[in-house]
């Protein structure tokens, strides 16, 4: 059973208020309120660094039913500002369960509001776009809520989530050496790259191009990450210096930054794509894949003209750009998470394409 029950509320900047029960951390949560549609994978979602500084609403009503196990963590901790769910499960049941979601929320000091109609919140966001919000105790005054809502927006998410130090993964006997730029990378992406005979050197997000190239990698991987890609112009400049030096594969934030480095533009979406059931069409194969996604910005297709960039994938929901190939250097990127953790499989061919590009360099 739950240890204690506190009353709380989610207050949105448009004036709407949702009342519920508070669990987890004592702090007040302030951030952009977004929703994700996954029916499972709540632990991977909670520890995905791409959600840094956001208040995340789960559309699926029951959360926590199979417990928590550290083996599924995707980041060093949860970077959520807050969490909103319909029903927090009392009694999880799974052979891998080592802890409860409630214990995880307490350990992470993460404010969680439960007992609210999450689908009502989702419909509001879909209609009006993402809204700033706060999770506070029920007795918090309107003046304090308004002061929190007026607080400055966060723009240093990548600095918060990137690794503080360079580190390596995988044995050096593996065939390919990949330099990974950690913009907020998920653990399963690192695991996937190692499955493709790669040993990895993982770099902090703001590492210079010169230092990365000093390690003489066979390819460069630009990871997922949180926030607005235009918040990190220094990373964009470093990517410009890396282009053409080695094959590059980018996903999510890496996809957006690579596009900006090539002179394209990005924009903020109305409510983004977050979930594990997003249909994407590979235009070259004329085939539709179901993908895992977590992003609130997209590449502007109109900005690609005349820049040597080919659109390779599009969203079947709204037609937005989901994949790009670069004709002037061996680089490509996708907007979604091909390692799909959580999510559907079938995207391994993208990792194989990266291997093929590195193999071509070997034989050049």
Catalogue the active-site residues.
252, 337, 339
**How far is residue 108's CA from residue 77's CA, in Å, rounded to a whole number?**
7
Is residue 101 left, alpha or beta, with left meaning phi > 0 and alpha meaning psi from -120 to 50?
alpha
Helices 253-261 and 233-242, packing angle to 10 deg = 70
Residue pair 94/8 in contact by the 8 Å Cβ criterion: no
**How far is residue 313's CA from residue 288's CA, in Å, rounded to a whole number?**
9
Residue pair 360/207 in contact by the 8 Å Cβ criterion: no
Q: Is 313 helix (H, G, I), strand (E, B) or coil?
A: strand
Question: For the residues of 109-162, what is the DSSP string, one character each?
Answer: T--EEESS-HHHHHHHHHHH--EEEEEEETT--HHHHHHHHTSPPP--HHHHHS
Edge-to-edge order in the sheet of strand 331-334:
167-169, 198-204, 176-182, 219-222, 248-251, 331-334, 321-326, 309-315, 266-282, 287-299
- DSSP letter at 296 equals E
**How far is residue 349's CA from residue 13's CA, in Å, rounded to a whole number?**
43
**How far is residue 341's CA from residue 348's CA, in Å, rounded to a whole number?**
13
Going from the C-alpha of 227 to that of each of 5, 247, 257, the distances in angstroms are 33, 25, 11
Contact residues for 4 (Cβ-Cβ < 8 A; gap 6+) = none
Residue pair 117/79 in contact by the 8 Å Cβ criterion: no
Question: For the residues of 242-266, what is the DSSP string, one character each?
Answer: HBTTB-EEEETHHHHHHHHHTT--E
Going from the C-alpha of 271 to that of each of 38, 47, 130, the distances in angstroms are 15, 21, 5
Q: Which two tokens stand for residue 191?
A: 């695991």
């Amino acid at each position: 059973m739950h240890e204690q029950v506190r009353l709380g509320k989610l207050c949105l900047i448009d004036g709407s208020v949702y009342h519920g029960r508070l669990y987890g951390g004592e702090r007040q949560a302030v951030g952009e309120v977004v929703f994700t549609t996954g029916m499972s994978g709540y632990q991977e979602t909670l520890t995905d660094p791409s959600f840094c500084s956001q208040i995340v609403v789960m559309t699926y009503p029951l959360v926590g039913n199979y417990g928590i196990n550290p083996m599924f963590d995707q980041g060093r901790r949860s970077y959520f500002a807050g969490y909103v769910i319909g029903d927090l499960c009392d009694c999880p049941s799974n052979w891998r369960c080592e802890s409860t979601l409630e214990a995880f929320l307490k350990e992470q000091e993460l404010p969680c509001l439960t007992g609210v109609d999450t689908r009502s919140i989702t419909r509001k966001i879909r209609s009006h776009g993402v809204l700033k919000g706060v999770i506070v105790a029920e007795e918090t005054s309107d003046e304090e809520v308004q002061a929190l809502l007026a607080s400055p927006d966060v723009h240093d998410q990548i600095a918060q989530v990137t690794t503080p130090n360079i580190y390596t993964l995988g044995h050096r006997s593996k065939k390919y050496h990949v330099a990974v730029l950690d913009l907020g990378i998920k653990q399963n992406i690192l695991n996937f790259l190692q499955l493709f005979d790669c040993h990895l050197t993982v770099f902090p997000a703001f590492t210079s191009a010169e230092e990365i190239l000093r390690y003489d990698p066979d390819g460069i991987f630009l990871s997922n990450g949180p926030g607005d890609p235009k918040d990190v112009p220094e990373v964009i400049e470093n990517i410009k210096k890396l282009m053409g030096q080695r094959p590059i594969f980018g996903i999510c934030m890496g996809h957006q930054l690579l596009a900006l480095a090539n002179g394209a533009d990005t924009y903020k979406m109305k409510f983004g794509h977050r979930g594990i059931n997003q249909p994407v069409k590979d235009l070259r194969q004329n085939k539709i894949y179901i993908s895992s996604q977590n992003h609130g910005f997209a590449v502007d297709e109109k900005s690609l003209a005349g820049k040597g960039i080919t659109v390779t994938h599009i969203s079947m929901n709204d037609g937005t750009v989901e994949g790009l190939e670069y004709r002037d250097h061996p680089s490509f990127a996708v907007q979604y998470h091909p390692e799909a953790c959580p999510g559907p499989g079938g995207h391994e061919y993208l990792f194989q394409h990266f291997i093929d590009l590195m193999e071509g360099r070997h034989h050049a």
